[in-house]
A and B are shown apart, each in its own frame.
Chain A
Amino acid sequence: MVEPTPQRTGLRTIMTTTITFPLSGKTFQQRATQEPSWVRCFLIGLALAFLTLFLFVPLISVFYEAFKKGVDVYLAAITDPDAVSAIKLTLTVAAIAVPLNLVFGIAAAWAIAKFEFRGKNLLITLIDLPFSVSPVVSGLIYVLVFGLQGWLGPWLAEHDIKIIFAVPGIVLATVFVTVPFIARELIPLMQAQGTEEEEAAVVLGASGWQTFCKITLPNIKWGLLYGAILCNARAMGEFGAVSVVSGHIRGSTNTMPLHVEILYNEYNFAAAFAVASLLALLALVTLALKTLIEFRNKQHQTQRGDE
């Protein structure tokens, strides 16, 4: 048997075929489980070419177009009152949608991961449902419920409550499209952690709330943060669903992505890309935080493995 070595290469060297040419004394090595180096270089080159064309160039072009007409135009675009109100609205919507889905995610994960009950798989599928609904349809269904022609429309109009073409509609549509993010991060994590620690706490006399705060929460905090970051990115960037329920009222129901659309359709490209660059920056920060948490988790796991 081969001794398990910490590094994978340790195993692979065993498979190295060594060809020694007796005359020159030169040694050629070709690992039997690796591709020749020209194949490797070609595949890396092809993959990077594809990613460059489809990812890196579009990303760079956002910033290039934003600053093409100079820093002054850029600053003017993002400090324009309509832009500022769009930024404020986007932050407000995310500040409502993310905490709501955070509470939902924790509750759903607690029920699903810590208990055995019938219909669990169906429940998980229902939680994932918003991911498979087209953003446009996500907006439309709220129009059907709260719009003037909708179920609650006449009653809402009578009581002078506006939901569609107003901020509450935007919040609802955003909550809908971001429902699964935190729950689907927490469910597998809490399932993997099992119930033993919580059971021990309960046996020792801890209340449910104490058990959650002192045992579960510290265990899931990174998963929670991870889900919240992704949820936030989508909440701030959602376009289709919000577009349907917003009514595009400048300075009042325009979120940042909608403001980008309006500026772009007015051929005000520099301003559109300036606001878009803020959203692209948000995406980059999201990816950086996400990678940081993944890196931390990996280190944590190897540390645990070493113990």
Chain B
Amino acid sequence: MNHFKQHSILPGFNLALGFTLLYLSLIVLIPLSAAFIRTAELTWSEFWTIVTTPRVVASYRLTFGVSFAAALVNAFFGLLVAWVLVRYHFPGKKIVDALVDLPFALPTAVAGIALTALYSGNGWIGQYLEPLGIKVAFTPLGIFVALTFIGLPFVVRTVQPVLEDIEAELEEAAATLGANRWQTFAKVIFPILFPALMTGFALAFARAIGEYGSVIFIAGNMPMVSEITPLLIVTKLEQYDYAGATALSVVMLVISFILLLIINLLQWWSRRRSARA
């Protein structure tokens, strides 16, 4: 017997693992490999030309810039919401807590049309912003709003459990040593939360980069201005430019994998940090 698996008296290992691997291969791995294998049919210079045309580069800049900004806003407000939900009591708290997950549960297309209706010139919010010269719908600002919406739960849900587990003794010790509340937060609580906060930020960022449904309604989708990379993939596909769509999707996949790796490292760091605290 090799050392692949430790001995166990429980049955079903071969069946369960076999089925898992077969299913994963058929549904996930083989189709994903198709993107890479099809791209490998291009030469390096062909690939490079496709993924660095000005229109494509503009879409990267937009996608990453706006995703980063939205994730940053979510990091700040996510921390605030998590803090308020864990530490304070107010009427309706349970409902608010449950509704934080709404962006996970609400189909992205619904979020997209709702936000567009709200922020367009005659919408509930847009009508107050437009006279101030702030156009949200059909501009990059609209993309920012949509990406903030869909990334909202990530930071809250990664920070919340860590905050709940912080023992009161730590803060009491800080207080008896003369720290005020702000000092206690900045020097004791925040460093414990930081890895979780970074994880939440990275998750929100990764989600925002790939987002499509909620963005396309509100973006206006102008090439060079408000066209995100996932939309460009769809556009190329609709023009039967399979090579172009596939090359772009490989760029997106590689970036997703790098982010996944970073997120795993952050989660590992977060677990170690909170285990020590």
Residue in B9, B17, B77, B108 whose CB lies within 8 Å of A239:
B108
Known pairs A118-B4, A172-B27; A291 contacts B107 (CB<8 A): no
In the assembled complex, B53 has its CB within 8 A of some CB on chain A: no
Give bound CA distance, A104 to B99, whole Å.
29
Interface centre among A34, A47, A65, A176 (most CB of B within 10 A): A47
Known pairs A50-B77, A62-B114, A179-B28; A132 contacts B206 (CB<8 A): yes
Give bound CA distance, A199 to B10, whole Å.
6
Residue in A15, A179, A207, A287 whose CB lies within 8 Å of B99:
A287
Which residues of B, 135-187, contact A by the 8 Å Cβ criterion? Answer: 145, 148-149, 152, 168, 171-172, 175-176, 181, 184
Residue in B5, B152, B233 whose CB lies within 8 Å of A115:
B5
In the assembled complex, B224 has its CB within 8 A of some CB on chain A: no
Q: Could you tell me if A257 and B109 are in contact, using CB atoms closer than 8 angstroms? A: yes
Known pairs A43-B84, A176-B31; A114 contacts B10 (CB<8 A): yes
Residue in B8, B35, B80, B105 whose CB lies within 8 Å of A137:
B35
Residue in A103, A110, A144, A287 whose CB lies within 8 Å of B34:
A144
Q: Could you tell me if B237 and A140 are in contact, using CB atoms closer than 8 angstroms? A: yes
Interface size range on A against B: 35 or more
Interface size range on B against A: 35 or more
Q: Could you tell me if A135 and B114 are in contact, using CB atoms closer than 8 angstroms? A: no
Interface centre among B9, B38, B107, B257 (most CB of A within 10 A): B107
Closest CB of chain A to B253's CB: distance in Å? 6
Mark interface residues in A204-227 (1 if CB within 8 Å of B CB, else 0): 000110011000000000000000
Q: Could you tell me if B264 and A125 are in contact, using CB atoms closer than 8 angstroms? A: yes
In the assembled complex, A46 has its CB within 8 A of some CB on chain B: yes
Interface centre among B98, B115, B217 (most CB of A within 10 A): B98
In the assembled complex, B69 has its CB within 8 A of some CB on chain A: no
Residue of B whose beta carbon sits closest to that of A53: B125
Q: Could you tell me if A59 and B114 are in contact, using CB atoms closer than 8 angstroms? A: yes
Which residues does chain A contribute within 8 Å of B260, judged by CB atoms? Answer: 125, 128-129, 132
Closest CB of chain B to A149's CB: distance in Å? 5
Q: Could you tell me if A51 and B253 are in contact, using CB atoms closer than 8 angstroms? A: no
17 CB-based A-B contacts, threshold 8 Å: A44-B88, A57-B124, A118-B5, A125-B264, A132-B206, A134-B209, A134-B210, A140-B245, A144-B35, A176-B27, A202-B9, A239-B109, A243-B212, A244-B237, A264-B217, A272-B113, A280-B110
Chain B interface residues toward A at CB < 8 A: 3-6, 8-13, 15-17, 19-20, 23-24, 27-32, 34-35, 38, 77, 80-81, 83-85, 88, 90, 94, 96-111, 113-115, 117-118, 124-125, 145, 148-149, 152, 168, 171-172, 175-176, 181, 184, 206, 209-213, 217, 230-231, 233-234, 237, 240, 242, 245-246, 249, 252-253, 256-257, 259-260, 263-264
Q: Could you tell me if A133 and B34 are in contact, using CB atoms closer than 8 angstroms? A: no
Q: Could you tell me if A239 and B107 are in contact, using CB atoms closer than 8 angstroms? A: yes
Mark interface residues in A145-156 (1 if CB within 8 Å of B CB, else 0): 101011100000
In the assembled complex, A94 has its CB within 8 A of some CB on chain B: no
Give bound CA distance, A59 to B113, whole Å.
11
Give the interface segment out of A18-26, A73-81, A229-237, A299-307. Answer: A229-237
Interface centre among A104, A143, A276 (most CB of B within 10 A): A276
Q: Could you tell me if A58 and B107 are in contact, using CB atoms closer than 8 angstroms? A: no
Closest CB of chain A to B12's CB: distance in Å? 5
Residue of A whose beta carbon sits closest to that of B251: A137
Mark interface residues in A18-53 (1 if CB within 8 Å of B CB, else 0): 000000000000001111100110011011101101
Residue in A123, A144, A175 whose CB lies within 8 Å of B27:
A175
Closest CB of chain B to A64's CB: distance in Å? 8
Q: Could you tell me if B10 and A137 are in contact, using CB atoms closer than 8 angstroms? A: no
Q: Could you tell me if B252 and A123 are in contact, using CB atoms closer than 8 angstroms? A: no
Q: Could you tell me if A110 and B256 are in contact, using CB atoms closer than 8 angstroms? A: no
Which residues does chain B contribute within 8 Å of A240, judged by CB atoms? Answer: 108, 212-213, 230
Interface SS of chain B: helix
Closest CB of chain A to B167's CB: distance in Å? 9
Which residues does chain A contribute within 8 Å of B80, judged by CB atoms? Answer: 43, 46-47, 50
Interface centre among A115, A150, A257, A286 (most CB of B within 10 A): A115
Give bound CA distance, A111 to B12, whole Å.
8
Residue of A whose beta carbon sits closest to that of B8: A115
Q: Could you tell me if B102 and A108 are in contact, using CB atoms closer than 8 angstroms? A: no
Give bound CA distance, A291 to B161, whole Å.
16
Give bound CA distance, A133 to B30, whole Å.
14
Which residues does chain A contribute within 8 Å of B15, judged by CB atoms? Answer: 107
Residue in A58, A116, A195 whose CB lies within 8 Å of B111:
A58
Give bound CA distance, A4 to B86, whole Å.
20
Q: Could you tell me if A130 and B28 are in contact, using CB atoms closer than 8 angstroms? A: yes
Residue in B29, B30, B252 whose CB lies within 8 Å of A134:
B252
Give bound CA distance, A126 to B245, whole Å.
24
In the assembled complex, A283 has its CB within 8 A of some CB on chain B: yes
Closest CB of chain B to A296's CB: distance in Å? 14
Closest CB of chain B to A113's CB: distance in Å? 10
Q: Could you tell me if B31 and A144 are in contact, using CB atoms closer than 8 angstroms? A: yes
Residue of A whose beta carbon sits closest to that of B38: A144
Known pairs A43-B88, A47-B80, A257-B107; A144 contacts B242 (CB<8 A): yes
Q: Could you tell me if B124 and A239 are in contact, using CB atoms closer than 8 angstroms? A: no
Which residues of A, 181-218, contact B by the 8 Å Cβ criterion? Answer: 195, 198-199, 202-203, 207-208, 211-212
Q: Could you tell me if B84 and A61 are in contact, using CB atoms closer than 8 angstroms? A: no
